[in-house]
Amino acid sequence: MRPIQSIRFRMRRRVEHRDPRQLAQRVGAHIGKGVQLPVGTRVTATTSIQAYTWFSGRPTFAGEGAINIGRWCAIGEELRAISSNHDMTRPSVHLGLADQLGLQRRVVVGTVSVGNGVWIGDRVTLLPGACIGDGAVIAAGAVVRSQVPAYHIAGGGPGSTDPLTLRS
């Protein structure tokens, strides 16, 4: 297991403000042209954000897998994109106890992928293996753990999907 680097961005009064974009790039994130990361962004995963994606505030990119976000996305407050999780097929043991007993930690790693032109509401959680197609809309508070087809609307936890229909 490789060590995870973490940076937490906070705005402080009377202290020179650093650009969160530069700090994210220090931990290996690829940040595209026109992307403005808000103060409070947390990056602990291999993250790629394509050009002109907009964040409303404080996203978290965590885990041991890759997180890829497409172009021209609009993302609400407190997005949590998580690319690894505990293995849910085994009985749970406190990690400290597992270390003391010499048990091997099992982690499920997956890629989180968001297509181009996606709208994501406030407080959405993207779990390992989440794949959101181009033009999809994710409702506020949704938990996405699988595929959302292109131009569909997903909401709930775990998200259910409906096709996006255009009015004539």
So which residues are the catalytic ones? 86
- Pair type for strands 131-132 and 80-82: unpaired
What are 126's strand-pairing partners?
Answer: 81, 144
> What does the block give as tokens for 75?
């993302």
Q: Kind of pairing, strands 152-156 and 137-138?
A: parallel
**By CB neighbour count within 10 A (0-12 exposed, 13-18 middle, 19+ buried), where does 32 fall?**
middle
CA atoms within 13 A on the CB side of 6: 10
